[in-house]
């Protein structure tokens, strides 16, 4: 069951809901540091000689009142010997600043509150280990606001009040700053049953006021103002007995800062923490108190450096509790974390490395990670290792969710890019040559399949196929086939002919399904035709394709591919004969076949609704190239039918491309190829094909389509632009020979054209 975080529900709920919606909880980082080894590195001058650790901080937020001090949470957990820690805070001149311990938690960190330094900006916290608990400061004006402390087990008001009485406070509890006032509907640091809570906050009055305070809670609660108990509502109960503000009392307060301590415990069932008030002049619904708001806050300090006395340094991990959201594609949710680090910088003499189990490492400053499991229970460790001449220090935290994060979608490019980056980061974290996906869950594989789009998963698939091929073979066939088809598209973009042919051969050899083996024979023909531009080799391969064609869809495809070979060789009449045969076979079996060496994109996940074909024909007709050569090979009535059909297909593909609906555009191109393969001899189909391949960056296939268009027509409204586009693609491919051939052809066909000067410049020696 996913746990959804609810906002505190006060007597006047709407106002609190609005306030809660404006604020997100801020979680400081909790980390565990493990020191490794000592060296003879030069030691820094320390103002506190007995300290084992120094933390340099910068004030990033001023306190609302000097008595609320500046708070910093320092990485904790096994860093220092001894059971307790003693802080000593100094300003930039080495002067000691008043300070106190807010909490000392092995999991959540070491919280220190200190007086704002005189320069208002920097301070250093020295930490000394101690075998016994440090004494509470004899007299201090400082206290933190607003902070939430939660302790699981043996829930009672006594446990809640003991967290405040002890020093260091809240031993064994989880804690953090709290931006939701004195209230919550969940335990933000653990299970929602059997926990005790202490919240400390503050408010400031400009003048003397008589205020009514009350508590609404489930179960028991008690609160105090300036250390004096105002009202106690102990025992096991629901909110009903205090829902109208009857559990409280009036308090007369003078101007200035005032402290609130609220204690609560929860056994089972629903839970609620809610302190309300009614102040002079406050207008509320039905005259009832409303949630306490406008609380004052302590300042905040950011850690800039953590140094050991022997010269080693440590970093601070950020983002381990600030989950971005979750995706639910398969069996379990995948929770997305965006991790980064601070307080340390990699250099020639200092390395910073992320470490994940088992034996995964990543050396970049930020990394995204997808953790599979129920957000309420996941706890996945991550370590930051910092190494310099003095030695190695490790900082370890757990990626956790204290409540269910928001559900995320894959509906936009940026959404899909975010998840692809996370998967790619996870793959790169596995050292070579180890299999990078050996420990992936079914949910990770399902997410990858969901993300796949034409020509848009290259780096991920290269890692998977080069290092995880054996694991891929264990995946379900339908899943593996999709990955293979996307991988071949990736290889096309690399334009490494031998690598492409080698992988086609390997995938064919590894395949056990005869229909799938036939698909790889077809892919080899297409590679020679459309990628390598070797029609002679394609003609040899198409013979094998025809010989192995058994099923009706295979014989239809073999005829279609024979037509493609003849078209590439300039034998248009022979091509038309094969295309007619392929078309007749397609119509006789009345179903879509796999064609063009492409995927059959039937059932592809649509990212957006495409416009109906009837609405797009008129929009694209003005941009549609004229068709000439095909007309000379058809009867007049057939030509009319094909003209209407091709216009509709061209317009639909143009519309899909405009909507970034690439799977749909490729599928429509495949449908067109099957339904009327003779259209491949006209201007419409090759131009549509070129536009599709240009949209995914496959320059070689785009050039092939444009060259076919150029060779198949004598003159058309789009021919000059098509030839110019072909030259631009060839320039990116650095094919100088063909560029000059096309430029010369252009000058001959279009004397006096505005592009003529540019073409002559291309032809100049």
Span 342-358, pLDDT tens digits: 999 999 999 999 999 99
What is the helix, strand, coil percentage profile of the chain, to 5?
40, 25, 40
Strand ranges inside 343-390, DSSP E: 351-356, 360-362, 366-372, 379-388
Range of lowest pLDDT (298-307, 559-568, 578-587, 608-617): 608-617
pLDDT at residue 590, rounded to an integer: 60
Q: What is the pLDDT of residues 82-141, one digit of tens each?
A: 789 999 999 999 999 999 999 998 778 899 999 999 877 899 999 998 989 999 998 899
Which superfamily is assigned to 617-763 in CATH? Tetratricopeptide repeat domain (1.25.40.10)
Q: What is the pLDDT of residues 287-310, one digit of tens each?
A: 789 999 999 999 999 999 999 998
What sign for the dihedral angle of Cα 442, 446, 447, 452? positive
pLDDT at residue 610, rounded to an integer: 42
Residue 608: pLDDT above 50? no
Query: What are the domain boundaries of the chain?
Result: 617-763
pLDDT at residue 164, rounded to an integer: 96
Residue 639: pLDDT above 60? no
Give 65's pLDDT tier (boundaries 50, 70, 90): very high
Residue 204: pLDDT above 70? yes
Average pLDDT, integer, range 393-402:
85
Strand ranges inside 239-298, DSSP E: 248-253, 256-266, 272-278, 290-291
Give 81's pLDDT tier (boundaries 50, 70, 90): low
pLDDT at residue 592, rounded to an integer: 40
Average pLDDT, integer, range 255-271:
96
> Distance between terminal CA atoms of the chain?
73
Strand partners, 367: 339
Give the C-alpha separation, 671 to 556, whole Å: 13
Residue 17: pLDDT above 50? no
| Model confidence, pTM | 0.78
pLDDT at residue 604, rounded to an integer: 42
Residue 11: pLDDT above 50? no
Residue 676: pLDDT above 70? yes
Give 8's pLDDT tier (boundaries 50, 70, 90): very low
Residue 148: pLDDT above 80? yes
Q: What percent of the chain has pLDDT over 90?
A: 69
Place of tokens 């979680």: 27
Strand partners, 381: 398
pLDDT at residue 445, rounded to an integer: 94
pLDDT at residue 640, rounded to an integer: 54
Average pLDDT, integer, range 693-705:
95
Nearest CA to 753 among 714, 725, 703, 719?
719
Residue burial 308-337, b: 16+ Cβ < 10 Å; e: rest: bbbbbbbbbbbbbbbbebbbebbebbbbbb
pLDDT at residue 643, rounded to an integer: 66
- CA triplet 331, 337, 338: central angle to 5 degrees? 150
Q: Which two tokens stand for residue 193?
A: 């049953």
Phi and psi for 78 in degrees, rounded to 5? 80, 5
Give 277's pLDDT tier (boundaries 50, 70, 90): very high
pLDDT at residue 638, rounded to an integer: 53
Give the C-alpha separation, 501 to 507, whole Å: 10
Residue 36: pLDDT above 50? no
Highest averaged pLDDT of the listed ranges 24-28, 84-88, 408-412, 599-603: 84-88
């Amino acid at each position: 069951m996913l746990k959804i975080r609810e906002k505190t529900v006060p007597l006047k709920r709407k106002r609190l809901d609005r306030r809660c919606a404006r604020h997100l909880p801020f979680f400081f980082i909790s980390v565990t540091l493990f020191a490794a080894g000592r060296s003879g590195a030069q030691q820094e001058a320390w103002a506190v000689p007995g300290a084992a650790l120094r933390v340099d901080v910068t004030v990033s937020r001023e306190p609302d009142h000097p008595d609320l001090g500046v708070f910093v949470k320092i990485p904790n957990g096994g860093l220092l010997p001894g059971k307790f820690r003693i802080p000593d805070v100094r300003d930039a001149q080495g002067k000691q600043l008043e300070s106190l311990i807010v909490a000392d938690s092995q999991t959540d960190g070491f919280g220190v509150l200190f007086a704002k330094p005189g320069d208002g900006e920097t301070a250093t916290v020295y930490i000394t280990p101690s075998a016994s608990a440090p004494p509470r400061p004899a007299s201090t004006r400082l206290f933190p606001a607003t902070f939430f402390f939660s302790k699981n087990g043996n829930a009672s008001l006594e446990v809640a009040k003991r967290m405040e009485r002890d020093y260091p406070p809240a031993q064994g509890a989880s804690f953090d700053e709290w931006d939701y006032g004195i209230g919550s509907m969940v335990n933000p640091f653990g299970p929602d049953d059997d926990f005790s809570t202490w919240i400390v906050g503050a408010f400031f009055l400009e003048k003397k006021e008589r205020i009514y305070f009350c508590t609404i809670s489930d179960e028991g609660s008690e609160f105090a103002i300036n250390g004096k108990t105002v009202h106690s509502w102990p025992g096991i109960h629901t909110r009903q007995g205090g829902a109208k503000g009857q559990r409280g009392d009036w308090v007369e307060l003078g101007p200035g800062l005032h402290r609130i301590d609220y204690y609560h415990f929860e056994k089972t069932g629903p839970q609620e923490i809610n302190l309300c008030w009614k102040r002079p002049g406050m207008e509320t619904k039905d005259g009832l108190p409303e949630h306490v708001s406008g609380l004052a806050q302590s300042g905040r300090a950011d850690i800039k450096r953590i140094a050991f006395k022997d010269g080693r340094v440590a970093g601070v991990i950020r983002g381990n509790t600030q989950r971005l959201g979750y995706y639910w594609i398969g069996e379990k949710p995948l929770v997305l974390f965006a991790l980064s680090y601070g307080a340390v910088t990699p250099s020639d003499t200092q390395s910073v490395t992320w470490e994940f189990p088992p034996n995964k490492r990543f050396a970049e400053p930020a990394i995204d990670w997808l953790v599979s499991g129920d957000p309420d229970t996941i706890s996945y460790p991550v370590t930051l290792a910092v190494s310099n001449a003095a030695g190695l220090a490790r900082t370890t935290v757990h990626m956790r969710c204290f409540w269910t994060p928001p559900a995320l979608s894959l509906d936009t490019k940026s959404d899909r890019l975010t998840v692809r980056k996370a998967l790619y980061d996870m793959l790169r974290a596995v050292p070579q040559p180890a299999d990078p996906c050996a420990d992936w869950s079914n949910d990770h594989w399902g997410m990858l399949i969901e993300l796949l789009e034409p020509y848009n998963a290259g780096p991920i698939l290269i890692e998977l196929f080069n290092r995880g091929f054996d694991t891929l073979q264990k995946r379900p066939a339908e899943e593996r086939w999709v990955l293979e088809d996307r991988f071949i598209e990736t290889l096309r973009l690399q334009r490494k002919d031998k690598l492409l042919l080698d992988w086609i051969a390997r995938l064919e050899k590894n395949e056990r399904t005869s229909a799938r083996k036939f698909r790889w024979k077809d892919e080899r023909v297409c590679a020679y035709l459309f990628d390598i531009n070797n029609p002679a080799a394609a003609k040899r391969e198409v013979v094998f394709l025809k010989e192995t064609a058994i099923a009706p869809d295979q014989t239809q495809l073999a005829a279609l591919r024979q037509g493609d070979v003849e078209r590439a060789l300039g034998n248009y009449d022979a091509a038309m004969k094969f295309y007619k045969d392929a078309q007749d076979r397609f119509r006789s079996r009345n179903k879509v076949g796999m064609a063009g060496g492409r995927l059959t994109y039937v059932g592809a996940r649509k990212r957006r609704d495409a416009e109906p074909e009837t609405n797009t024909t008129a929009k694209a007709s003005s941009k549609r190239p004229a068709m000439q050569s095909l007309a000379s090979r058809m009867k007049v009535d057939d030509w009319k039918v094909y003209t209407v059909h091709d216009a509709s297909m061209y317009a639909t593909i143009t519309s899909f491309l405009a909507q970034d609906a690439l799977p749909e555009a490729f599928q429509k191109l495949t449908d067109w190829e099957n339904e009327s393969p003779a259209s491949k001899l006209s201007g419409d189909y090759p131009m549509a094909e070129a536009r599709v391949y240009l949209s995914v960056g496959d320059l070689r296939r785009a050039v092939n389509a444009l060259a076919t268009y150029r060779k198949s027509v004598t003159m058309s409204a789009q021919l000059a632009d098509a030839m110019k586009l072909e030259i631009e693609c060839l320039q990116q491919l650095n094919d100088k020979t063909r560029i000059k051939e096309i430029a010369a052809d252009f000058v001959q066909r279009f004397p006096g054209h505005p592009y003529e000067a540019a073409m002559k410049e291309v032809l100049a020696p």
